[in-house]
Amino acid sequence: MVSLLSIGLRWGMQLLALVFLFYFSASTNSEGLRINQTFTPGELWWDNEGTHINAHGGGILYHDHTYYWFGEHKTAGRGGNTALVGVQVYASRDLLNWSNEGVALSVVDEAGHDIERGAVIERPKVVYNESTGKFVMWFHLELKGQGYIAARAGVAVAEEVTGPYTFIESLRPNAQHWPVNMDADFKNQDVDLDQYEWWTPRWRKAVDEGLFVRRDFEGGQMSRDMTVFVDDDGKAYHVFSSEENLTIHIAELSDDYLSHTGRYIRIFPGGHNEAPALFKHEGRYYMITSGCTGWDPNAARSAMATSIWGPWEMLGNPCVGEGADLTFHSQSTFVLPVAGKEGAFIFMGDRWRPRNPIDGRYVWLPIKFEGHKPVIEWHEEWDLSVFDE
Ligand code: DGJ
């Protein structure tokens, strides 16, 4: 009996020692900093201090040989869906190992301020303006205590990539400008907004013809889920879900990236697209979006155009295999071109946890191309060598 117990104990101790050795030799360096060697979509993702990365709905800027990941800082519990801290930034040289660089844009403790603590700050995207030498952050803003009614875009600027970012303003874009691709006949129609009912064929036609653009013409267009894309010629575009989340707008930004020029197009009117992520490959523009189901995942969509001004063509769901119908339980936020690897793009998605937002997970997957169609497959665990295959 005693010897059985001691054998059991010995085996147990050896097993523990093995687990301990494996864990620490494989995952920390000599300074005790955590080392990650693979992407593990949907798992906890540790920064180099061993804390789950807190940068949801994020985007990445590659600057001076370093990747900067900006995202929503979330906290625990339902209230964590609002901005109680601000926009967080992490830095990495290899996309796997991230140092926490702190809060890039802080919420403000001033009642009535646009970015008052408790407002909703989502999907921050930072771009670098070569001509001004400044870093510009755009984000989706909902004013404190107003749910998702405000539908505004916020802009902030910084001298240093990690901040601090200074809030400039929030707005509804393109007030008093008609979209470039809106039929001239529709612009000046006298429309009785009350004559349309939700989802009747007539209502759908009215959306196509710019019902909401007209409604919001004076005060500016609604702007919720968003991204910013900088083209090879340095022009930047703000891409957002507008018109009650029914229609995507692609809007040109001014040369300093701080405002809209008033030139914009509407794409897929009534298509119900959220979570836009844009990238360019071999001269073609690609967009990945989701449908609109709140925090719950749905099937992604993809689209392509040879000019950013369209026409845009729908390509269908880029995801394939098991889980493709729910984007592998995630929603797009950004597509990252991997530096130095021509044609290598990473789909970045969020697996939201609205009841405990700080526990939200990241689903990053490699994008491959079948002809001109982007294709995303599930990988339990992967690294950048997949792009060498
Ligand atoms: C879906 C959006 O993509 C998210 O960014 C967030 O706004 C949620 N809806 C809120 O329900």
What is the secondary structure of 73-119 as a DSSP string?
---SSGGGGS-SSEEEEEEESSSSS-EEEEEEEE-B-STT-TTBTTS
Tens of pLDDT, residue by residue over 239-267, are: 999 999 999 999 999 999 999 999 999 99
List all residues whose CB is within 6 A of at least one atom of ligand 1: 57, 122-123, 225, 274-275, 294-295, 331
Q: How many angstroms is it from 162 CA to the middle of ligand 1?
A: 25
- The pair of three-digit structure tokens given for residue 6, joined into one six-digit string: 């001691």
Domain residues for 74? 39-171
Parallel, antiparallel or unpaired: strands 120-129 and 134-142: antiparallel
Residue 148: give its domain's CATH number: 2.115.10.20
pTM of the model as a whole = 0.92
Cα-to-centroid distance, 169 and ligand 1 (Å): 22
What's the CA-to-centroid distance between 295 and ligand 1, angstroms?
6
* 199 alpha carbon – ligand 1 mean position (Å): 22
In this prediction, residue 206 carries a pLDDT of 83
Distance from the alpha carbon of residue 148 to the mean position of ligand 1, in angstroms: 9
Lowest mean pLDDT segment, chosen from 19-23, 343-347, 362-366: 19-23
Phi, psi for 17 (deg, rounded to 5): -60, -40
Q: Is residue 359 part of a domain?
A: no
pLDDT at 23: 47
pLDDT confidence of residue 22: 42
The residue-averaged pLDDT of 198-216 equals 83
- By most ligand atoms within 8 Å of CB, the mutation choice from 72, 149, 225, 273 for ligand 1 is 225
Checking if the pLDDT of 2 tops 50, the result is no
Instruction: Evaluate whether 207 touches 269 at the Cβ level (below 8 Å).
Output: yes
Best mutation site among 74, 78, 223, 274 for ligand 1 pocket (most ligand atoms within 8 Å of CB): 274
Ligand 1, residues 148, 149, 330, 334: which to mutate, most atoms within 8 A of Cβ?
148
Phi, psi values for residue 324, rounded to 5°: -65, -30
One-letter amino acid identity for 366? P
List helix spans (H) across the chain.
2-27, 184-187, 201-208, 211-215
Could you say which DSSP state residue 321 is in? S
The pLDDT assigned to 389 comes to 82
Pocket test for ligand 1, best of 352, 353, 355, 363 (most atoms within 8 A of CB): 352
Output DSSP code: residue 385: G
Tell me the CA–centroid distance for residue 81 and ligand 1, in Å: 10
Q: Is residue 64 part of a domain?
A: yes
For the chain, what is the largest distance between any 2 Cα atoms, rounded to a whole number of angstroms?
A: 93
Cis-peptide, bond into residue 179, ω within 30° of zero: no
Atom 3 in ligand 1: which residue has the minimum CA distance? 275
**Pair 196, 202: CB distance under 8 Å:** yes
For residues 133-161, give the mean pLDDT. 98
Residue 229 confidence (pLDDT)? 98
Sorting pLDDT into bands at 50, 70 and 90, what band is 202?
confident
In a domain, 202, yes or no: no
Tell me how far CA of residue 241 lies from CA of 8, 34, 95, 370, in angstroms: 61, 38, 28, 28
**CA–CA gap between residue 170 and residue 303 (Å, rounded):** 29
Nearest atom, ligand 1, residue 123 CA: 5
In whole angstroms, give the CA distance from residue 337 to residue 341.
Answer: 8
Spatial contact of 264 and 247, defined as CB atoms under 8 Å apart: no
Distance, CA of 64 to CA of 52 (rounded, Å)? 25
Sign of the torsion angle spanned by Cα atoms 258, 259, 264, 267? positive
Residue 160 alpha carbon to ligand 1 centre in Å: 29
Residue 68 lies in a domain: yes
Cβ–Cβ contacts within 10 Å for residue 357, how many?
A: 23
Distances (CA, A) of 320 to 194, 232, 387: 42, 30, 18
Sign, CA dihedral 305-237-295-321, equals positive
Tell me whether residue 125 is in a domain.
yes
148 Cβ contact partners less than 8 Å away, ≥ 6 residues apart: 120, 142, 224
In a domain, 208, yes or no: no
Residue 251 within a domain: no
Q: Whose CA is nearest to atom 10 of ligand 1?
A: 294
Nearest to 327 by CA among 275, 256, 378: 378
Ligand 1: residue of 140, 141, 227, 295 to mutate (most ligand atoms within 8 A of CB) is: 295
Lookup: tokens for 169: 């303003």
Backbone φ and ψ for 148, nearest 5 degrees, come out as -115, 30
Residue 207: per-residue pLDDT: 87
Contact 272, 291 (CB under 8 A): yes
Q: For residue 338, report the distance from its CA to the centre of ligand 1, in Å.
A: 26
Distance from residue 296's CA to the centre of ligand 1 (Å): 9
Position 335 pLDDT exceeds 70: yes
Residue 45 lies in a domain: yes
Q: Name the band, by pLDDT with cuts 50, 70 and 90, for residue 25.
A: very low
Domain count, the chain: 1
- Ligand 1 midpoint to CA 294 (Å): 5
Tens-digit pLDDT profile for residues 45-103:
999 999 999 999 999 999 999 999 999 999 999 999 999 999 999 999 999 999 999 99
